[in-house]
Structure 1
Amino acid sequence: MQLVIHIELDEPLLLPVNYNHILQAVIYRSLDIIPGYAEFLHEGGFMRGQRQYKMFQFSQLKGEYRIENKKITFFSEVSFEVRSPEPLLIRLLGEGIWNKGVTFGNHVYTDVDLELYDYTVEERQLLIRMKSPVTVYATDLKSEKTWYFSPDEEPFCKMINDNFYRKYQAYYGMAPTSGIQLGICENSMPKKLVTRYKGTFITAWYGTYKLSGERKYLDFLYQTGLGAKNAQGFGMFEIL
């Protein structure tokens, strides 16, 4: 399911340019309409082995803005989208925002509009564009060094597929019967983004891609996101 949140700003919204952690906190606060639910997601969520998956994703803020001195200021109105395969999560988020508004820092914005959708992917081959950048990485346990892969590197698509397998198993308790394939579109150059999340640098990629697989698996990815760190604001795509 998908929830689009529109916020009328009664005063400009000033944020650091790397604001994903702030928007994530907005979501968790709104989910706490049922005591313990936000904590369940934040502390564990859906597990596969030692890996945790929150099963939601969110887009970047959309609206008129200005960037200056590593700060971004939004004017008039902003909107963002949250998706999840969990209907309860989307319902709680909508109720929490509708009842309490949206809090950024010490200011509460109460003039909100919500759009609820239940779009389902019906095709096995998609042309997609990233609404928030996609990232995959590997970490050496001994050195604790992390490598982020680019779409033109061989491990990239394999790691996208491996991540899909783990997320699907964590949510449904069973492995998918086939994988998914992701490829760069011809005449399309992925755009690199290096950002920070709570002090950690993350390399991610915008761009247009070809995505194929079983319909139900592509729909699962539409709700949960491609690649890693979906609940930190990475991996949301739109279908062209």
Structure 2
Amino acid sequence: MRLKLDFVPLEDFPYNDVNKHTIQGFIYSTLMRTEFGDMHDVPRFKFFTFSDIFPPTNFKKGEAKSLIISSPNEKFIEALYSRLKDRERIYLGKHEFYLKSVKKFSLKVKRRFITGSPIVLYKDNKKNEYFKFYVHHNINFFLQRLEENAVKKYHAYYGEEPLIEGNLFDKMIPRIRNGKVDIYVRIVKMGVPFTIVGSSWKLLEKHCITKEERKFYQFIMDCGLGEKNSLGFGFLNPLK
């Protein structure tokens, strides 16, 4: 299930003034005094993600921007919706916005997907080393780790093993920027900047999704692919 927010800035400021940690903080603060109020402090999968703010241009007074939050947990989306539906103003960090609209909706799973935020995977999480195509050159490792992570989250959420036949995806086309697949995303937390490395994809395709596999692909579409989903990474949209 998904929640789309359309909001209008009340002043001009750079796009990067609102980073992913800012949005995560907005979501957690919105959930205070709900059944999800302690989610941030619980050491487990959060089962939600969100898109990059779009369009990805500088904020201009009066020009609307949008954000989509997704989760397989309908109660989570309902809790956010109930807290936001009657609001006129929201804050993302120090910036105030007019909340133009809040809309709940669901999307059916398709065979083809596009990323709405970079997919992040660790090469070695003990060393805090991210997988980088430019350095590691191993699409098989990327696919294997991506599937392992998705299966682990699915099992944690449903308490069962998913059925997956063949590869997680049969066709993958990256979005290349400046000749590279890797994307470096700057995050600021408590005033301290750090960088997360991911990759963006204009096509992730499974040639045939069986009836038995549909639940799994619906899950990863709603929950996100890869790691750091609750920080707004791995957001997927279906393609016709």
Q: What does the per-residue CA deviation read over 1:97-148, in whole Å, with 9 as the maximum and x for residues that have no partner?
A: 2244421234443433012112232x5xx2221111111113363xx34141
Structure 2 Cα separation of the partners of residues 149 and 94 of structure 1: 36
Shift of 1:44: 1.6
Tell me the distance in 1 between the aligned counterparts of 2:125 and 2:90. Answer: 39
Task: Give the direction of change, closer, same or farther, for the CA distance of 1:112–1:29 in structure 2 (3 Å limit).
Answer: farther
Distance 1:231 1:140, change over 3 A: closer
What runs of 5+ residues in structure 2 fail to find an aligned partner? none
Q: Partners in 2 of 1:107 and 1:189 — Cα distance?
A: 30
CA distance in 2 between counterparts of 1:107 and 1:194 reads: 24
CA–CA distance in 2 between the matches of 1:10 and 1:236? Answer: 27
Deviation for aligned residue 1:177: 3.5
More strand by share: 1
Match of 2:41 in 1: 43
> Per the alignment, in what secondary structure is the counterpart of residue 162 of structure 1?
helix
Q: 1:59 to 1:156 in 2, by over 3 A?
A: same
Q: Partner of 1:12 in structure 2?
A: 12
Query: TM-score w.r.t. structure 1 length?
Result: 0.80
SS of the residue corresponding to residue 111 of structure 1 reads strand
- 2:162 counterpart letter in structure 1: P
Residue 236 of structure 2 corresponds to: 237
Say whether 1:196 aligns with 2:186: yes
Aligned residues of 1:149 and 1:156 also touching (Cα < 8 A): no
Residue 55 of structure 2 corresponds to 63
- 1:133 is aligned to 118
Distance (whole Å) between structure 2 residues aligned to residue 33 and residue 110 of structure 1: 23
Deviations, residues 73-105 of structure 1 (Å, cap 9, x unaligned): 344211100000111110111122224442123
- Compared CA separation, residues 140 and 15, structure 1 to 2 (3 A): closer
Q: Look up the equivalent residue of 2:27 and give its one-letter code.
A: I
Distance 1:204 1:195 in 2: 8
Report the number of matched residues: 220
- 1:63 Cα deviation after fit: 3.4
The alignment's C-alpha RMSD in Å is 2.5
Displacement of 1:164: 0.8
Tell me the distance in 1 between the aligned counterparts of 2:50 and 2:198. Answer: 15
Query: 1 CA distance for matches of 2:97 and 2:121?
Result: 34
CA contact (8 A) 1:5 1:81 kept: yes
Offset at residue 65 of structure 1 (A): 2.6
* Kept after mapping to 2: 8 A contact 1:60/1:80: yes
Alignment of 1:90-169 (within 5 A): 90-100=77-87, 101-121=89-109, 123=110, 126-139=111-124, 141=126, 144-150=127-133, 152-169=138-155
Provide the rounded CA distance (Å) in 2 between the counterparts of 1:77 and 1:64. 11
Q: State the secondary structure of the residue aligned to 1:37.
A: coil
- Measure, in 1, the Cα distance between the counterparts of 2:147 and 2:65: 33
Q: Which residue of 2 aligns with 1:182?
A: 169
Gap regions ≥5 residues in structure 1: 46-51, 67-72
> Aligned pair in 2 of structure 1 residues 99, 18: CA closer, same or farther (>3 Å)?
closer
Identical aligned residues as a percent: 22
Give distance in 1, aligned partners of 2:93 and 2:171: 39
What's the TM-score, normalizing by structure 2? 0.80
1:195 is matched by which residue type in structure 2?
Answer: V
